Structure 1
């Protein structure tokens, strides 16, 4: 494992996978951080008994309209959750727009910097909303 991967993290992969030798797969480096972001964004508060506040709670927007007001609330939820739960990154921006392919979803694009290396990364996630 390289030194930069050590400072960026090393843990079980998500979703859990089994390697060909029968052992659990591990993730490290930038992919470990992306997996962590996915876990935070897809977790609803209350799902984890030991951390009842953990997660972004994006499921609460399921029946909300796909408009600017909802997009702003999603941006705040994402920024707050990632700032609180993932200390290895610094959120630079969160942009939420209507998904032009799936009209019942918004597309959130998150730009962040890795604290350890100052490298800029970007991920996108679809947030299900009210069907048109």
Structure 2
């Protein structure tokens, strides 16, 4: 029986001891897909220019509530468009207490195939407030 989550090349791409490409599958494949979507800038992919989120575009934006809302919206829209295996429930963005030039985006989602709740966080570099 095949997995409802899919299978793809591991991200980042790597090889095993025998020199073969590693694959990821299951929930790990979805987590890697989310990372690819969030770390890809718009227009970065030649044949798919609308893919990604362009979180790097926020690099010089202030680390405040208005920027956090825009980052959350960009993440939510990109994941809803590019990752059909999940249902995004919430995207919370807040300043990192330890690094004033970083915001932390916490994404809460459910796997469509099983309904299992998952959470992933990503650092978003911003300017200091």
**TM-score normalised by length of structure 2:** 0.97
Q: RMSD across aligned C-alpha pairs, in angstroms?
A: 1.0
Matched, 1:89 2:86: yes
Match for residue 113 of structure 1? 110
Gaps of at least 5 residues in structure 1 are none
**Would you say how many aligned residue pairs link Structure 1 and Structure 2?**
129
Deviations 1:64-108 (A, max 9, x none): 000000000000000000000000000000000001111101000
1:79 to 76, 81, 89: 76
After TM superposition, which residue ranges in structure 1, 4 or more long, deviate above 3 angstroms?
none
Gaps of at least 5 residues in structure 2 are none
Match for residue 25 of structure 1? 22
Q: Cα offset for 1:131? A: 3.7
**TM-score normalised by length of structure 1:** 0.95
1:12 to 9, 26, 46: 9
Deviations 1:45-66 (A, max 9, x none): 0000110000011011000000
